[in-house]
Structure 1
Amino acid sequence: MMNTDQRPWLAQYPAGIPANVEVDSFPTLRALIADATKQHGNKAAFSCMGKDVTYNELDRLSTAFGAYLHYRGLQPGDRVAVMMPNMLQYPIALHGILKAGLVIVNTNPLYTPPEMKHQFTDSGAKAIIIAENFAANLQKIVGETDIHTVILTSIGGMLGWIKGGLTNFVVRNVKKMVPAYDLPNAVQFQTALDEGKKYKLPQFTGQPTDTIALQYTGGTTGVSKGAMLTNSNLVANALQSKAWMTQKLEAGSQERMLCPLPLYHIFAFTVNSVAIFAHGICNVLIVNPRDLSTIVKAFKDNRIAGMTGVNTLFNGLLNDKDFTKLDFRHLKITVGGGMAVQRAVAERWQKLTGVPLSEGYGLTETSPSASMNPLNDKLRIGSIGVPLPNTDMRVWNEDAHRVATSEERGEIQIKGPQVMKGYLNRPEDTAKVLQDGWLSTGDIGMMSEDGFFTIVDRKKDMILVSGFNVYPNEVEDVIAAHPKVLEVAAVGVPSERSGEVVKIYVVKKDASLTKEELITYARESLTGYKIPKEVEFRDDLPKSNVGKILRRELREA
């Protein structure tokens, strides 16, 4: 049996990476941001559609934005939702929220009104910064929430008068991407910045244990829950990730990191908007990663030294003829996460770019990074790498109630400073996954003798679509409400494109029910990636002796 005090993975660490970093060197995330700004003041911090914002500019703009939020009556601890794609407004809003002592509630812009309502009411959000593209959905539910401050922004809002105006004209009038809305009390983002400059932002002293982000997740069980991430969680994970990448990326250099993943997702939120920012490297933001031409252009226009992404994105780029013609001489690091990286994709990526595609692993509940493959020849394709500094991982044999021996399967558990405080207002759910500091992930895995971890199955029923959590209960609740449905079960099935897609098994109440009818119905309440892609009608569903539908049997079938 493996002694839990042993950390065989340390032998796999590249030279110069410590077993432990000083994760408590900054008491708050705001302090970490201030330190990075002091070091890299006039250097570009973020870039989007050809427009750069320096550390000093971001500091000034975010201070004004925080002052405006305070002026509108928001007090330390209040929750502020942010709902936008990757734009320069995002880091301004994030830093302003932190400076005002508030809590950010990252929200997927693709959410439907019911999904928005759940997140805003559960979190108790009192304000929202939202791209105008999604304002029509907000209009439908804002009256059923506690939101009293609405700040609207546009894709071209920070790009300058000429370029920004042209961008907004195309988005609004050519591509018709902004449905009509009526939010009479909403304030424009630029107006908030202009007003905020008139006010002084008080100094708010935060504590390491303060919750500063509510990141919603399906978790290991139940409906979408708000993982409470503290100052110490996010500072620790940023410093852990920064230490891991130091071997490849030169701090404060002119190199740039491509950020095609949305900043509202925990992966890019911590790795890009915090860790890479703290490292003094400019993040190049991609507004719409589905438009691969914008990624190709970013590579041509910038000295891209690193890139984060998910398997589906890497696979798409490998099959894009313009991308395959690019010059990758500056590329040093590629990190894949959010979903499993397929071996074929990793091998093709390295052959094309000359850079390994290093897979990492984590959960929203771990802020998110827990393990990472070495960024050198010790990389092991097919594994999720080794635990990051300050992090312990183990494989738990539940039947024997002990740590599993090497190569023995069990549930992966994680302990470290990046593990969340708990789920908001859900102590019972928190107690189910957090015991004695160990977080139960719900993923079944193995650890090799030399410390590499591999995921082999999923204990939980959660479905992972292109790195996004889909909990079957949510899909089933929607489908079950259809008047022609008697029973339904949702499972994840393999997809070459997105890792998994949602499949539903349905017992009809009315014989006239069709697949198309169900999918159209689901589209009214579910975000695109949650909508079933496969429908199978059955006369009955497998059940346990107490009548519980056995999803595992359906998956295996």
Structure 2
Amino acid sequence: MGHTLTYSELLQYSQNFAAYLQKNTQLQPGDRIAIQLPNLLQYPVTIFGALMAGLVVVNTNPLYTPRELKHQLQDSGAKALVVLANIATAAEQVIKTTAVESVIITEVADLHPPLKRVVLNWAVKHIKKMVPDTNFENSTQFLSTLRLGQKSEFNPVSINSTDVAVLQYTGGTTGVSKGAMLTHDNLVANVDQIIEHLGDGIDSKGEIYVCPLPIYHIYAFTFHCLCLLTRGANNILIPNPRDLPSFVKALKNLKITGFVGLDTLFKALCNNSDFLAMDFSRLKITSSGGMALSSTTAKRWQEVTGCQPNEGYGLTETSPVVSANIPGNIVPGSVGLPLPNTEVKTVDLNNDVTAANEPGELCIRGPQVMLGYWQRPDETAKVLDEDGWFRSGDIATIDESGFIRIVDRKKDMIVVSGFNVYPNEIDDIAVSHPNIQEAAAVGIPDERAGEAVKLFVVKTDSELTEEEVIQYLRGQLTGYKVPRVIEFCKELPKSNVGKVLRKELRNRNSENNNS
């Protein structure tokens, strides 16, 4: 929104916040603090302040419904929450069922100059009416924490490199959200790996990178908040990339050198006339992740910007980057070469290594691989073996030159605009409806989002409508998880042991579209 923090300001604000946490709360090193914010200047301040105080950051999706937020807060055992006032009603509804003792509330323009801050915050609250009234038993305003912290002395904390720095939540094939324990070692290693791999792409202190992906997502967190800051780069935070006019307006007077995004965003921008008129003469890296990059989108982006997209691959459990194409050596359709000090292999169902170009499950070993899942040793054992190999669940090929191609995703996962959606979570919520007997979600092609969710439903009441089902799910699921299409059926196809065969449902959808 037109305001920039210098590195010295970021350091001072973060230290003030850390001092507040030390002197004005009961939080101790190792305690978890949830951060539920969009891409605002407050986000990096709270991240670094929390880490300086020795706390564990729990990045939290600001789009979460009360049910989703409750699970993450309870599972992580978070004792503090930093939340934007605009979205604080979800927290208000569940906070008493969690271990959260301190709620810190921030408003959109809190780190802007005084006059601008007052005007913007007043307009957002009273003109746009985007800030609902909330009531927490123990809450503090974000600006108050900085003022109180400034009056206190910050005491540096002794932190071991093997301590957990971040609990980054990821879905699972069961639909249960699990916290990947990422240590300081994991994150620092991935930063070093990325810098060495990309070379000149982030070599200069004059870098200006666009950050439209949410910082609560592990890729933006590691790349923008950690990697680029070590290089002295300038990150342009975009709170709402779906608002294309505001997005492009924020960039139009900048000569950006780097852009991080995904297929659907690139496609939308290339159809925006104001974006087409921008100066891309300094753009040298476009990094694509989160979902497959189509050849059509890649070609169009290069035509518009003169910069060939650089596709990579990663997972929450690997901090996240595993591989990426190297600028000047991009192989279209691949996710590039493994990062330095990263080993990869593909294995068959017998766990035997497959030959070059032969599909198999991609396994990764390296310093960026997580410690394990928070309080879930059984789940950890399923994906991490004694030798440190992490099973990704993704099917890939590795050619003779080492380039990786992802040929299939985790069997049932749906990717909506780069966000992972796990069908079992949707199924479980759907069958809680009194008039639904069974339900199964699958992904269907969608031109705008890559994929959309379709839900097959066996109903017990003939009067139940598609709209009623969608409305029911909309109240309990984040927007991108809500099914776009409902299809009623007499029964779901099942294996001889009673497992729903989603593949048959996907095939049925394709046959219906082709007929």
State the TM-score, normalizing by the size of structure 1.
0.89
Question: Is the Cα contact below 8 Å between 2:65 and 2:478 reproduced in 1?
Answer: yes
1:409-428 aligned within 5 A: 409-428=359-378
Deviations 1:131-155 (A, max 9, x none): 0011111110101111110100011
Amino acid of the structure 2 residue aligned with 1:405: A
Distance 2:171 2:156 in 1: 35
Q: Which runs of 5+ in 2 are unaligned?
A: 509-515
Cross-structure match for 1:120: 73
Question: Is the Cα contact below 8 Å between 2:36 and 2:82 reproduced in 1?
Answer: yes
Deviations 1:446-480 (A, max 9, x none): 11222111111124322222222211111111111
Cross-structure match for 1:227: 180
SS of alignment partner, residue 402 of structure 1: coil
Question: Is the Cα contact below 8 Å between 1:373 and 1:384 reproduced in 2?
Answer: yes
Amino acid of the structure 2 residue aligned with 1:395: T
Distance 1:70 1:220 in 2: 39
Cross-structure match for 1:359: 311
Is residue 455 of structure 1 aligned with residue 406 of structure 2?
A: yes
Cross-structure match for 1:10: none
Amino acid of the structure 2 residue aligned with 1:498: A
SS of alignment partner, residue 202 of structure 2: coil
**Aligned Cα root-mean-square deviation (Å):** 1.3
1:203-242 aligned within 5 A: 203-242=156-195
Is residue 182 of structure 1 aligned with residue 135 of structure 2?
A: yes
Match of 2:342 among 391, 394, 398: 391
Deviations 1:388-412 (A, max 9, x none): 111111111124x311111211111
Question: Is the Cα contact below 8 Å between 1:218 and 1:462 reproduced in 2?
Answer: no
Cross-structure match for 2:35: 82
State the TM-score, normalizing by the size of structure 2.
0.96
Question: Is the Cα contact below 8 Å between 1:257 and 1:305 reproduced in 2?
Answer: yes
SS of alignment partner, residue 5 of structure 2: strand
Is residue 272 of structure 1 aligned with residue 232 of structure 2?
A: no
Cross-structure match for 1:542: 493
Amino acid of the structure 1 residue aligned with 2:45: I
Cross-structure match for 2:465: 514
Q: How far did residue 501 of structure 1 move?
A: 1.6
Deviations 1:245-272 (A, max 9, x none): 332233322x311111111111100011
Distance 2:477 2:284 in 1: 38
- More divergent stretch after superposition (502-511 vs 164-173): 164-173
Distance 1:317 1:425 in 2: 42
Q: How many residues align?
A: 506
Cross-structure match for 1:153: 106
SS of alignment partner, residue 247 of structure 1: helix
Cross-structure match for 1:39: none
Q: How far did residue 220 of structure 1 move?
A: 4.7
Question: Is the Cα contact below 8 Å between 2:285 and 2:308 reproduced in 1?
Answer: yes
Match of 2:390 among 439, 445, 457: 439
Q: How far did residue 221 of structure 1 move?
A: 4.3
Distance 2:372 2:203 in 1: 35
Distance 1:546 1:379 in 2: 45
Q: How far did residue 185 of structure 1 move?
A: 2.6
Question: Is the Cα contact below 8 Å between 2:80 and 2:101 reproduced in 1?
Answer: yes
Cross-structure match for 2:511: none
Deviations 1:28-59 (A, max 9, x none): xxxxxxxxxxxxxxxxxxxxx22121112111
Distance 1:494 1:550 in 2: 19
Q: How far did residue 222 of structure 1 move?
A: 4.2
Question: Is the Cα contact below 8 Å between 2:335 and 2:404 reproduced in 1?
Answer: yes
Q: How far did residue 184 of structure 1 move?
A: 4.6
Cross-structure match for 2:96: 143
Distance 1:220 1:283 in 2: 34
Question: Is the Cα contact below 8 Å between 1:221 and 1:460 reproduced in 2?
Answer: no
Deviations 1:312-365 (A, max 9, x none): 111110111111111111211110111111111011000110001111110100
Distance 1:216 1:128 in 2: 16
Is residue 464 of structure 1 aligned with residue 409 of structure 2?
A: no
Cross-structure match for 1:250: 203
Distance 1:246 1:283 in 2: 18
Distance 1:244 1:390 in 2: 11
Q: How far did residue 383 of structure 1 move?
A: 1.3
Is residue 489 of structure 1 aligned with residue 440 of structure 2?
A: yes
Amino acid of the structure 2 residue aligned with 1:371: S
SS of alignment partner, residue 266 of structure 2: helix
Q: How far did residue 175 of structure 1 move?
A: 2.6
Distance 2:343 2:349 in 1: 18
Say which structure, 1 or 2, has more relative contact order (CA 8 Å, 6+ apart): 1
Cross-structure match for 2:295: 343
Amino acid of the structure 2 residue aligned with 1:162: L
Question: Is the Cα contact below 8 Å between 1:220 and 1:442 reproduced in 2?
Answer: no
Cross-structure match for 1:476: 427
Distance 2:362 2:173 in 1: 12
Distance 2:188 2:275 in 1: 35
Amino acid of the structure 2 residue aligned with 1:87: L
